[in-house]
Amino acid sequence: MNKAQLIDAIAEKANLTKVDVKKALDAFSSVTSDALKTGDRVAIMGFGSFSVSYRQPRNGRNPKTGAKISIEGKKFVKFKGGNELSEII
């Protein structure tokens, strides 16, 4: 499901206009991004939580040449589904 399909589905289910749903979804994305940038965790009860984790630097291998390469550490967003979401799936 892409963003447009998500907007359509939410608008239909919540009986809202697509414009309002798009504004709300954009605001959710912006607020969540800002919170994660500052290291906060975003938890939505029953759905799940978003947090930032750090992947340590490690050694890897170029699959084409087999040469050893160094992979830098980096931050990444982690999502953990809540109990209600897990039960639905």
Domain range list for the chain: 1-39, 41-89
Q: pLDDT tens digit string along 45-73?
A: 989 999 999 999 999 999 999 999 999 99
Local confidence band at 7 (pLDDT 50, 70, 90 cut-offs): very high
Has residue 22 got a pLDDT over 90? yes
pLDDT of residue 33: 96
pLDDT of residue 13: 95
Asked whether the beta carbons of 89 and 82 are under 8 A apart, the reply is no
Mean pLDDT of the chain, nearest integer: 94
Asked whether the beta carbons of 51 and 39 are under 8 A apart, the reply is no
Fold assignment, 41-89: HU Protein; Chain A (4.10.520)
pLDDT of residue 89: 87
